[in-house]
Amino acid sequence: MTTAENKVPGPRIPRAIWYAGVAARTVFLAILVIITARVASPQLETLSSIWETPTDLIRVALGVAVCAWLIFHMFILPKDARGYRTWVYLGMALLPFAILVCIAVIR
């Protein structure tokens, strides 16, 4: 017997918890991408100016890597109902704060 045959199916995830968990997780990660992109942008306001200062080049390169990592993880969903419930609870606690930080960083 292989391990795939030994798997016991877990409890079904209620639709409301699934939708709320996915929405909270996606919005939170999208806000993190927006904040990271804004913070990692070059100080001289043009993308061609990143070659003039090495610190801008490093900042932009790290920002692109972090944004790509966050976007990649947007598509990896939790495996069980506990993960979705955790994101529902974290979403209620973290999303208002994340939105405020995003507004403050963009302005």
Q: Which two tokens stand for residue 47?
A: 């993308």
Task: Please check whether residue 75 lies inside any domain of the structure.
Answer: yes
In a domain, 7, yes or no: no
Q: Is residue 49 part of a domain?
A: yes
Domain assignment present for 3: no
The tens-digit pLDDT sequence of the chain (107 residues) is 566 556 556 678 889 999 999 999 999 999 999 999 999 887 766 667 777 778 888 888 999 999 999 999 999 998 888 999 999 999 999 999 999 999 999 88
Domain span at 100: 16-106
The structure tokens 């709320």 sit at 20
- Domain assignment present for residue 38? The answer is yes
Provide the number of structural domains found in the chain.
1
- Whether 48 is in a domain gets the answer yes
